[in-house]
Amino acid sequence: MTMPAGDYIYADDFVNVLRQMYKAKKYKNMVIYIEACEAGSILQGLLPRDIGIYATTASNAEENSWAYYCPSGPPGRVPIGGDPAKYGTCLGDLYSIAWMEDSEANDLGKETLQEQYLKVKDRTNLSHVMQYGDTILSKAFVSTYMGRRSNNVSTIPLEELSTSNSQAVPQRDADLVFFQHQVQKAPKDTAESLEAQKRLDEQIAHRSHVDRSISQIVNHLFGDFNVRIYQQYCGRLREYGMQYTRAMANMCNAGVDKDSMKAASIQACYGKVE
218 shares a domain with 144:
no
In a domain, 125, yes or no: yes
150 shares a domain with 190:
no
In a domain, 115, yes or no: yes
d(CA 83, CA 77): 9
* Residue range 5-33: mean pLDDT, rounded: 94
The whole-number pLDDT of residue 210 equals 80
Q: Which residues pair with 169 in a beta bridge?
A: 67
The whole-number pLDDT of residue 274 equals 44
State yes or no: pLDDT of 77 exceeds 60: no
253 shares a domain with 206:
yes
- Is residue 265 within 8 A of residue 230, CB to CB? The reply is yes
192 shares a domain with 152:
no
CATH number at residue 126: 3.40.50.1460
Query: Given pLDDT bands bounded at 50, 70 and 90, which one contains residue 223?
Result: very low
* Residue range 21-32: mean pLDDT, rounded: 98
- Is residue 225 within 8 A of residue 252, CB to CB? The reply is yes
User: In one letter, which amino acid is 180?
Assistant: Q
* pTM of the predicted protein model: 0.68
In a domain, 169, yes or no: no
CB proximity list for 36: less than 8 A, separation 6 or greater: 1, 2, 42, 57, 58, 59, 65, 171
In a domain, 38, yes or no: yes
The whole-number pLDDT of residue 70 equals 82
145 shares a domain with 207:
no
The whole-number pLDDT of residue 175 equals 80
118 shares a domain with 23:
yes
In a domain, 157, yes or no: yes
125 shares a domain with 30:
yes
- Is residue 212 within 8 A of residue 189, CB to CB? The reply is no
| Residue 209 domain boundaries | 186-269
156 shares a domain with 37:
yes
Which of 94, 77, 92, 88 lies closest to 154 in space, CA to CA? Answer: 77
d(CA 249, CA 119): 32
d(CA 247, CA 236): 16
Percentage of the chain beyond pLDDT 70 is 70
34 shares a domain with 154:
yes
How many Cβ atoms sit within 10 Å of the Cβ of residue 50?
8
In a domain, 167, yes or no: no
The lowest-confidence range among 145-149, 195-199, 204-208, 232-236 is 232-236
d(CA 134, CA 50): 6
28, exposed or middle or buried, with CB in 10 Å at 0-12, 13-18, 19+?
A: exposed
Does residue 225 or residue 245 have the better pLDDT?
Answer: 245
198 shares a domain with 112:
no
Element holding 43 (H helix, E strand): none
How many domains in the chain?
Answer: 2
User: In one letter, which amino acid is 118?
Assistant: L
State yes or no: pLDDT of 222 exceeds 60: no
In a domain, 35, yes or no: yes
131, exposed or middle or buried, with CB in 10 Å at 0-12, 13-18, 19+?
A: middle
In a domain, 133, yes or no: yes
235 shares a domain with 154:
no
State yes or no: pLDDT of 266 exceeds 90: no
The whole-number pLDDT of residue 154 equals 52
135 shares a domain with 63:
yes
